[in-house]
Amino acid sequence: MPAFSDPSGAVLPYDGPGAPSVRARRSTPTPWLVVVAALLVAVLMLAPVLVVFGQATAAGAAEASRLLLRPRTAELLRNTLVLVVLTVPITVVLGCAAAWLVERTTLAAAGVWRTLLLTPLAIPAFVSSYAWTSVLPSVQGLGGAVFVTALAYYPFVFLPAAALLRALDQGHLDAARSLGASGLGAVLRVVAPQLRPAVAGGALLVALHLLAEFGVLQMMRFPTFTTAILQQFAVGFSNSAGSLLAATLVVLCLGLLAVEVLLRGRARISRLGPGTRQQPVAHRLGVWTVPAIGALAILVGLSVVVPAGIVLRWLLRAISAGAVDAVPLLSATGSTIGLAVLAGLAATVAALPGAWLLHRYPSRLAAGLERMTYVASALPGVVIGLALVTLAVQWARPVYQTAALAVAAYTVLFLPRAMVAWRSGLAAAPTELVEASRSLGVSGPGTFARVVLPLVLPSALTGFVLVFLATATELTATLLLAPTGTETLATAFWSASDELDYVASAPYAAAMIALSAPLTVLLRRQILDQR
């Protein structure tokens, strides 16, 4: 099936020939209840942004100039930008090269390599940082931060790139070759333009994660805007200083979104007709087989085997020393699963009105509401958390320090993941079936429950898993918003590792990996194996 890349970097089926036309989808009036629901979700998504800018502008021009023009602010800006500029290209090279080897060559055991190359998603970046610094304390500063984050985040590029390469039509390459293009020329002129949106989206995800990263950079002693904001809150939060730093981070996030749009371009890469897609012809590696396997083995070893092995080593020490306390470990696991389930359900339900509106009743309003979800979710967890704390204290004090506020933060952060999944499923659900059901007198909700939901349920479950996985390893927003007395695996791990107690941290790190690994395998099957 032809594909294109969503702004978040995910690859979705093309809603082309055989799919309902815009005219057909506009033949019925737009249901106002769906519009209202989508607007309410958009308000929730934009509320943190408005709070941040409102508090920042309240400081006044003089105070803003004093705080933003300090040498410390310049240092934070420089560190943040250098980290992004160095790490993103590395992840693009690693992700694209690995995707090409797995999907377009005769590499043996490609399915195994797909799983191994996605496994870093099951190991939170701050856990990898903990593993490396526990055995190599010299891994510090900018070099250590780039090393760990590049190994942790390259799957964000690998996944969409591999999905597009897997769905590539060999006929396009054959046509280019028949017109006189060389092998490399055909790749540059045919494959590269189709990879461009996926790579740009994956690079955007990496960049946004770097802006939001706290755990890795704190362990590496490399200060950025995110670490400075959270430290200010810890020592006595200043609305002026914290909000101005957060507003600067928002501007950086918006700038990255604009750059991604420019890099993605407007070239159409979807098929104009149904045709018959030819399976890609695998390139023979020949004498490059051993170097290719060696390179992938090194990548997997550094990103997966070493961190997981170190965590296992510390876990065995904890078990032998009797330092594993089952009660807090089970309590943290239960809290993590509970919050992740609630966040997955909330985000999946909240994403449905906007996705349905965009699919069935496309308009500028629907497109604008969808883009709002990406803008808001581009903010780091610490910014979302601080904004929601402000809103709760001023307007909804009963929800302060409750699970509801934490779930709201997770929804804002991860709703686009559910939105992408809904859109993917709805694009594959024939509108003709909906129209036939309505013509037989079935109500709108009845048609959705009996016709649409069975078709899109796998995609909805994929969205739920994506949100669950992200919530289970979220750190900064959870540190701010977790109810009093509630610890998740991420916060319990952080409390122990912050005191350099590697033995006490290991059970929580191992539990996060054990919880995430099966879900990562499930995502591989859902996104790659079905293409």
Helix H or strand E encompassing 7: none
The pair phi, psi for residue 36, each rounded to 5°, is -65, -45
Residue with tokens 């005219």: 23
Q: Which of 97-111, 255-269, 323-337, 411-425 has the lowest mean pLDDT?
A: 255-269
In a domain, 144, yes or no: yes
Indicate whether 345 pLDDT > 90: yes
427 or 386: which leads in pLDDT: 386
pLDDT for 177: 55
Q: Which of 59-68, 273-282, 520-529 has the lowest mean pLDDT?
A: 273-282
Domain count, the chain: 1
Q: Are 201 and 10 in contact (CB under 8 A)?
A: yes
**pLDDT (mean) for 386-411:** 89
| Residue-wise pLDDT tens digits, 223-243 | 988 888 777 666 554 556 667
| Residue-wise pLDDT tens digits, 141-197 | 999 999 999 999 999 889 888 877 776 655 555 555 555 555 555 555 556 666 777
| Residue-wise pLDDT tens digits, 40-65 | 998 888 888 888 888 777 767 777 78
- Residues 491, 494, 500: CA angle, nearest 5 degrees: 155
Chain centroid to CA 125: how far? 13
Confidence of residue 14 (pLDDT cuts 50, 70, 90): very low
pLDDT for 416: 84
Identify the three-state secondary structure at position 283: strand
pLDDT for 25: 43
Indicate whether 20 pLDDT > 70: no
Q: Which of 123-132, 183-192, 362-371 has the lowest mean pLDDT?
A: 183-192
Measured distance CA(464)–CA(472) in Å, rounded: 12
Confidence of residue 371 (pLDDT cuts 50, 70, 90): confident
- Residues 390, 42, 422: CA angle, nearest 5 degrees: 125
Helix H or strand E encompassing 13: strand 11-13
Q: Which of 100-104, 313-317, 509-513 has the lowest mean pLDDT?
A: 100-104
Token pair of 72 as six digits: 């410390």
Domain ranges, residue 394: 3-268+293-529
In a domain, 255, yes or no: yes
What is the overall mean pLDDT for the chain? 79
Q: What percent of the chain has pLDDT over 90?
A: 26
pLDDT for 203: 87
Q: Which of 62-76, 172-186, 319-333, 345-359 has the lowest mean pLDDT?
A: 172-186
**pLDDT (mean) for 375-385:** 76
In a domain, 276, yes or no: no
Indicate whether 11 pLDDT > 80: no
pLDDT for 500: 72
Confidence of residue 428 (pLDDT cuts 50, 70, 90): low
Confidence of residue 475 (pLDDT cuts 50, 70, 90): confident
Q: Distance between the two ends of the chain, CA-based, in angstroms?
A: 7
Neighbours of 428 (CB within 10 A): 17
Contacts of 293-301 with C-beta under 8 Å, sequence gap 24+, read 293/107, 293/108, 295/97, 295/101, 296/98, 296/101, 296/107, 296/113, 296/116, 296/117, 299/94, 299/98, 299/117, 299/151, 299/154, 300/113, 300/116, 300/117, 300/119
| Residue-wise pLDDT tens digits, 493-522 | 988 887 778 888 999 999 999 998 888 888
pLDDT for 58: 75
In a domain, 352, yes or no: yes
Indicate whether 3 pLDDT > 80: no
190 or 366: which leads in pLDDT: 366
In a domain, 286, yes or no: no
Which CATH number covers residue 326?
1.10.3720.10
Q: Which of 88, 89, 84, 110 is nearest to 98 (CA)?
A: 110
Residue with tokens 């979220």: 474
pLDDT for 80: 92
Indicate whether 324 pLDDT > 90: no
Query: For residue 8, what are the CA distances in angstroms to 186, 460, 526?
Result: 28, 17, 17
427 or 394: which leads in pLDDT: 394
Confidence of residue 431 (pLDDT cuts 50, 70, 90): low
**pLDDT (mean) for 463-491:** 88
Token pair of 263 as six digits: 């890099």
Query: For residue 313, what are the CA distances in angstroms to 125, 301, 307?
Result: 18, 16, 10
**pLDDT (mean) for 92-108:** 90
SS (H, E, C) 181-223: CCHHHHHHHHHHHHHHHHHHHHHHHHHHHHHHCCHHHHHCCCC
In a domain, 75, yes or no: yes
Identify the three-state secondary structure at position 16: coil
**pLDDT (mean) for 201-221:** 86
pLDDT for 233: 61
523 or 132: which leads in pLDDT: 132
The pair phi, psi for residue 170, each rounded to 5°, is -60, -25
pLDDT for 12: 41
In a domain, 226, yes or no: yes
272 or 281: which leads in pLDDT: 281
Q: Which of 19-28, 82-91, 227-236, 486-495 has the lowest mean pLDDT?
A: 19-28
Which DSSP state fits 8?
T
In a domain, 73, yes or no: yes
142 or 446: which leads in pLDDT: 142
pLDDT for 301: 95
Neighbours of 530 (CB within 10 A): 11
pLDDT for 385: 85
